[in-house]
Structure formats: structure tokens, C-alpha cells
Amino acid sequence: MLKLITALAFSTTLFATSAFAQKAAVKNNSITQEEVLAAQQAWGKALVQISQDFEKGGIAKATETAKSVLDAAYGYDDGPVLFKPTLTSGAQTFRTTYEGALAYFVGNNSKFPQDSGFALKGWRKTEIKNSALYLNGDLAISMGNVMITNKDGQVTTVDKTWGYKKDTDGKIKIVLHHSSLPYSAK
Amino acid sequence: MLKLITALAFSTTLFATSAFAQKAAVKNNSITQEEVLAAQQAWGKALVQISQDFEKGGIAKATETAKSVLDAAYGYDDGPVLFKPTLTSGAQTFRTTYEGALAYFVGNNSKFPQDSGFALKGWRKTEIKNSALYLNGDLAISMGNVMITNKDGQVTTVDKTWGYKKDTDGKIKIVLHHSSLPYSAK
Amino acid sequence: MLKLITALAFSTTLFATSAFAQKAAVKNNSITQEEVLAAQQAWGKALVQISQDFEKGGIAKATETAKSVLDAAYGYDDGPVLFKPTLTSGAQTFRTTYEGALAYFVGNNSKFPQDSGFALKGWRKTEIKNSALYLNGDLAISMGNVMITNKDGQVTTVDKTWGYKKDTDGKIKIVLHHSSLPYSAK
Amino acid sequence: MLKLITALAFSTTLFATSAFAQKAAVKNNSITQEEVLAAQQAWGKALVQISQDFEKGGIAKATETAKSVLDAAYGYDDGPVLFKPTLTSGAQTFRTTYEGALAYFVGNNSKFPQDSGFALKGWRKTEIKNSALYLNGDLAISMGNVMITNKDGQVTTVDKTWGYKKDTDGKIKIVLHHSSLPYSAK
């Protein structure tokens, strides 16, 4: 957060009173485009990681990894997260709590009987195509497509909105996540 | 934006130096929950209005109303809006421009051949059930269900995320809108 | 941060689909006027507390209290604080570091030889008269007069600007503090 | 505000589904360090300009220029500005209104009898030495010294805090300005 800058020089006037460039301490709480793109990439890698850990270490290992991902990448510690996963419906559509999010990713929670564990589906790769980014202070929103490929090479495309919050100590957390399958006329 | 407040009194000490309550000018740029709920209601009414204007005045009247709604309620004047309408797909899924948004609501644009005019479908009522609100300075995000009822009493439910920006002169504009049909397992 | 609200009812239409008022989880990261006024009061009390602790427990106790105040009320943990105390000058005018702030309040630091410990001056009361408040998301700024009274009943008035940051877990920290003696024409 | 970016490439995997780099529309409402430094420079130039216009065109011309500066550089249009000029005192210390600010810069207002017109004092140069910058979304604060030199080569140094707000259409406005003469022990 803290870095030194060398500000604009003031060298061309007769009355210059300082021969030295100034240095100012700078604190910037705003989120950057680079931080958003990095957080998107991290999300994609985390999804693949959970799948691979499930294949190697079973549900226990996958759950452990999923918890780490939720802790590091989502803002549940600070309150509700606006999370509408791709495959939820009915009274359990919105997963504003940590437990609801974990159930969606790894299933095995009797309170969420429809959840079969989205992150356990053998994912191998994610690709992100942003349509637009909106940066507003410490909050940024991205909208676009995410293509996720499984071990058989099948690609699932979703319409995705993410909202990222940069917290006071500089960590980036997902506070909004709306994912939906593309509309298809019947 | 500007109002006078009477701040905390300091009356109980021996050394009180002022007999009068202070008044401070207050400027508050943050969006409130009330402003978000009001903007949601306004959106619902506007959708119904376009439908009714279409029935009474045809496409010309409906288009005029839709333009007024977009001007007043969406932030296209200030840049791209992150808009994923309910029924779009393929290369035209995201409507980050004013023209794309207008086409979605009233159709009749050869550049958007799949658009039949969502706001022309005889809507009579909208009901909004928020799952969660996230207020972050001048930006607020809501997530929940919206139920829209047509003239035959049929109800369409969508999963909806809206992002609202309060601009410098206090107007509330939609800068994010992700709408999707509920997932149903096949 | 998290509370339940009962949103607007939608009860008067023919097509009402829900008999129950909705409840939405709400997270609000914006600072409020009440939080600003409370933080100002807390600052005044802390100043008096350091003075009283100095009288009762000497410089060791006063320093301990001053550190607690700095930890709780100022944002040095997250980077530089923009702090221009009332009585500093020259190369040590600005106290962007924790050490510089502590030296100002309790002195006894050979690196800051001009500091005699502002908080040790027998303060008994502070009164705050805001001229204006500016609330901008998680950051708020106040400007006005602060009158501080010592044990002899003498009142010192300063022109004061404070900037308050509400951090991710809801704590209010001073990130800006510019204090100056009133101008008097010679 | 709006620009196109080429996001991270995804070229090294077997399952790449797109041969083309994506482009996303980007809106960034956060203020940058460069914008702050430019606004500071503009303020310095404007002060010199008013002085020069006063010398060439008298008080009428100076007032006209001062109004242009206030309109362009200060946020009075949107509410109170937290302005404590260097040389104000008593009940007129804080100039939260446009009229009070104009009176400070060019005097000649019977409601502000102590104002002799700070900007009319033959200024020729301003130099800004920032001690620290704090960037927080669309609001940035700078603190440091400003040295202003008059036509006789005399330099006046002030301790200065500025708060800058980036409004919805990207303009930078001063919403906070606390200026004070350096403290000198008697």
C-alpha cells in the first residue's frame, strides 16, 4: 500500500526554493484492473484445484481445499455475500452464507439436498472473457463469459458477474457472484 | 444533499463555552437502502409503463417511454453499463451500450435480430424480493428475485442482480444489471 | 454490519404471489454521521484521559494510554496517516508515522526534540463545533473548531480537520488530522 | 473514462476456445495520483493568474477569473466545501459557501470585512511539496507544504490539506481545503 513517489519537478522558475525532488508517502485504497484480472485467474485455478484434489484425495481433501478458497477469495467473514451460483434454484437459489457456498462447491450437506458439488465435476481449465469492467473505489465489478472445460474436453459456458472488494489491508474478496447458464429459446 | 444538523450537545460541564447548539452543513454522497428500494420500485413501474404505452400508443410511444427510462434510470451517459438481460444469448448477450439496451426493451432494431422487445409483453405488475443488499459508498448492489406478471396473470420469475450508482448530483443510476431465468434440472 | 430488514410490502394487487414480507441481509460499508460524531467525542475523551493518566501514573502510564489511543483511533496500521498537529513546525511538521504521532502526544523522544507532549498539558474537557461534514462512502471528513480546556479553566481553540475511514470490519480510524491555531493579524 | 483493454491471453492450453484476445469496456471512477498532482498544479497556476489579471485588468477582471477558478476547481455546485483559508479567523474562519470563498480570494465583499483578497497579493509562483497522499476511491487527500512567491521574491509557506473529489463525469473538484501558517513558538 505504501510507496514513495517522486512528484513533478518544479525546475524552470527563478524562485525555485528546493533543489531536491520531493517524496510523498502514498496510500491507495482503490482496486485496480490488474487486481481484478488476477482475482479472476485465481478463481479459475481454485476451481480446477478443488476438482483435482477431489480426484486425488476424495471429498475430505476437496472440502478442505474449498474451505481455503472460500476463506481467501470470498468475503463471508465480513457479512453476506451476494452469490447466485449457476445451478441453484428455488428457496436455495441465493447463497449468502458461507455454509451455502461450501455446499454448492462440494455438496455433501443434507441441508442443501440439491447440491451435488459443482467443483467436483472434473474441471481442468477455465477461461474468462470479460465484456466490461466497472471500477468504483475499493469495489470492482466484472461481467462476461466464463468457459470451463472438464477432463473430457467438454466446455460449459456461463454468463458471469463478479464483484470484488479490496479490504482495508489490501486483500481482494468476492462480495458478489451471479452466474447463469446462457438463455436458449425453446 | 445539503441539510443542517444539530449536533451533540455539550451541556453538562463546568467549562461550557457555548450556549448554543451547533449546526453543521452536511454533504453525504453515500447511497442509502431507501434509495435502492425506491429505485427498484421505479424500475418495476417503468417496465409496466412501457407495456401500457405500447398497447395505447404503439411502438413509437413505447420507444419514447423506453428512452426516457434508459436516460433516467441507467448510467449509459457515463460509460458502459454491465447489462446481461434475461433473454439474450450468443454474441449479443451483454448490452453495454445504450442502443443494445433499447433494442432489448422494445426490439425493432435490425442489428439485434433476436430482440422481440421484452418490455412490450403486456406486463402489469412487478414484485421484488431481495435476498441481500450490499451498500458500498455511492454504489449499492441488490440480489434477489423479481416476479413480473402479465395481463393474463402469468408470472415470470427471474434471478436479478442490480448495481446502483449515486452520481455527484444525487441521481441513482443502474450501472449493473444481470438477469437470468431460474435454473431447472433437465 | 449485518441486519435484517423488512422491505416494502406489495400487498394491494391482485397478483400478489407472496403472503410474507421479505427479509434481506444487508451489509453497509458506508460511514455514518453518527459514527463520525462518536469518533470525535472519543478523541476528546482520550486526550483528557492521557492527561489524567499522566498526573496519576506519570509518563509511563501516559505513554501506555497514548499508544492504546493511537492503536484504536488512528490508521497507522494500514499506512501513512496525514497528520499535521497543532504545534509542530519545520521538517517535523507532518507526522505520517506512528512514532511521530506518539512523540507529539507524549514527548520524550529524542528524535523529536521540539515535542513536549501535547497530551500532557492538564486537559480536562474538549468541545467540538463542526462547521461541515462530508461523508463519502467509507471516508468522512469533518471541519470545525475544537475547544480544549485545561485544569486552570483556560481554553485553547483550534481549527480542526479530521478524516475518518471505516475499515472492512467496521472500525473507524483517523487517516487525516490537520490542526492549526487560529490566524491572528499582527 | 472508457477505454478498451486487451486482457490476459489464454494461449497455452489444449482446450483454448478462442483464437482472439478479448476486449472489455472499462469504466474507472477512482481518482489517480496523476489527477491529484495535476489538480494541485492547476490550483497554483490559477492563483498566479488571478494576481496577474488583477494587475492588468483590475478587480473586475480578477473577480471574473476567480469565479472561473471556483467554478472549475471547487465543488460548491454540489454542496458545502470544507474550506479553512490561511488568513481567516473568528466567526468567518470556515468558508463553506461559494460567496465566502470568492470573498477570501478577491475581497470587496462587505459581508466579509476582514478579507483583503488573498489572490490579489502579486503572486508569481507556487511550489507544492506533498508529505503524503491518500487515495480512497473517488476521493483523494493530499497534505504538505505550499510555497508561494510574490513579485518581490518573498516566499510564504503554508501547511496545506486538500481533498479532491472525482465526480461522475470525471471532473476533479476540491471539496476540502485546510490551509494554515506554520506554527512558531513565541
Question: Domain residues of chain C, as ranges?
Answer: 30-180
pLDDT at A2: 35
Query: If you count DSSP H runs as helices and E runs as strands, how many of each does chain B have, helices first?
Result: 2, 7
Instruction: Count CA within 13 A, CB hemisphere, residue D45.
Output: 9
- Asked if C96 and A2 come within 8 Å (Cβ–Cβ), the reply is no
User: What is the C-alpha separation between D130 and D128, in angstroms, rounded?
Assistant: 6
Cβ atoms of B62 and B106 within 8 Å: the answer is yes
Overall average pLDDT of the B58-62 stretch: 98
The minimum CA-CA distance between C31 and chain D, rounded to whole Å, is 13
- For residue D65, give the 3-state DSSP assignment: helix
Name the grid cell of C165.
Answer: 475511514
Residue D168 — pLDDT band, cuts 50, 70, 90? Answer: confident
SS (H, E, C) chain A: CCEEEECCCCCCCCCCCCCCCCEEEEEECCCCHHHHHHHHHHHHHHHHHHHHHHHHHHHHHHHHHHHHHHHHHECHHHCCCEEECCCCCHHHCCCCCHHHHHHHHHCCCCCCCCCCCHHHCCEEEEEEEEEEEEEECCEEEEEEEEEEEECCCCEEEEEEEEEEEECCCCCEEEEEEEEECCCCCC
User: What is the C-alpha separation between C135 and C29, in angstroms, rounded?
Assistant: 12
pLDDT at A169: 84
Name the grid cell of A140.
Answer: 470492482
Q: Which of B22, B157, B164 to mutate to test the interface with C (most CBs of C within 10 A)?
A: B22
Spatial strand order of the sheet with B2-6 comes to: B2-6, B23-28, C123-136, C139-150, C155-166, C172-180, C82-84
pLDDT tens by residue, B69-117: 999 999 999 999 999 999 999 999 999 999 999 999 999 999 999 999 9
Query: Which residues of chain B does C26 touch, with a Cβ-Cβ cutoff of 8 Å?
Result: 33, 132-135
Q: Which residues of chain A have pLDDT under 50?
A: 1-21
- Asked if A41 and D134 come within 8 Å (Cβ–Cβ), the reply is no
DSSP state, residue D74: B
Of A27, A41, A142, the CB nearest to D135: A27
pLDDT at A185: 78
Task: Please give the model's pTM, rounded to 2 decimal places.
Answer: 0.89
Does residue C1 surpass a pLDDT of 50? Answer: no
Of A24, A31, A149, the CB nearest to D132: A24
Overall average pLDDT of the C59-88 stretch: 97
pLDDT at C23: 83
Q: Which residues of C65-90 are buried (b: 16+ CB within 10 A; e: fewer)?
A: bbeebbeebbbbebbbbbbbbbbbee
The minimum CA-CA distance between D147 and chain C, rounded to whole Å, is 13
Question: Could you tell me which residue, D20 or C64, shows the higher pLDDT?
Answer: C64
Of B22, B27, B144, the CB nearest to C130: B22
User: What is the C-alpha separation between B173 and B165, in angstroms, rounded?
Assistant: 5
User: Which CATH architecture does the domain made up of B31-180 adopt?
Assistant: Roll (3.10)
Query: Which residues of chain C does B133 touch, with a Cβ-Cβ cutoff of 8 Å?
Result: 5, 24-27
What would the CATH number be for the domain defined by A30-180? Answer: 3.10.450.50
Does residue C15 surpass a pLDDT of 80? Answer: no
End-to-end CA distance of chain A: 51
Q: Which residues pair with A175 in a beta bridge?
A: none
Query: Which residues of chain D does B2 touch, with a Cβ-Cβ cutoff of 8 Å?
Result: 79-80
- Asked if B155 and C17 come within 8 Å (Cβ–Cβ), the reply is yes
pLDDT at C22: 53
Rama region for C175: left / alpha / beta (φ>0; ψ in -120 to 50; rest): alpha
Please enumerate residues of C whose Cβ is less than 8 A from a Cβ of B: 5, 7-8, 10, 13-18, 22, 24-31, 33, 37, 41, 124-125, 127-138, 142, 144, 147, 149, 153, 155
Does residue D184 surpass a pLDDT of 50? Answer: yes
Please enumerate residues of C whose Cβ is less than 8 A from a Cβ of D: 80-82, 84, 86-90, 93-94, 96, 114, 131-132, 134, 136-139, 141-145, 159, 161, 163, 165, 175-176, 178, 180-185
Name the grid cell of A165.
Answer: 472488494
Neighbours of D (≥3 Cβ pairs closer than 8 A)?
A: A, B, C
Residue of chain A with shortest Cα separation from D138 = A137
Residue B169 — pLDDT band, cuts 50, 70, 90? Answer: confident
pLDDT tens by residue, B112-156: 999 999 999 999 999 999 999 999 999 999 999 999 999 999 999
Report the Cα D14 to chain-centroid distance in Å: 53
pLDDT at A186: 62
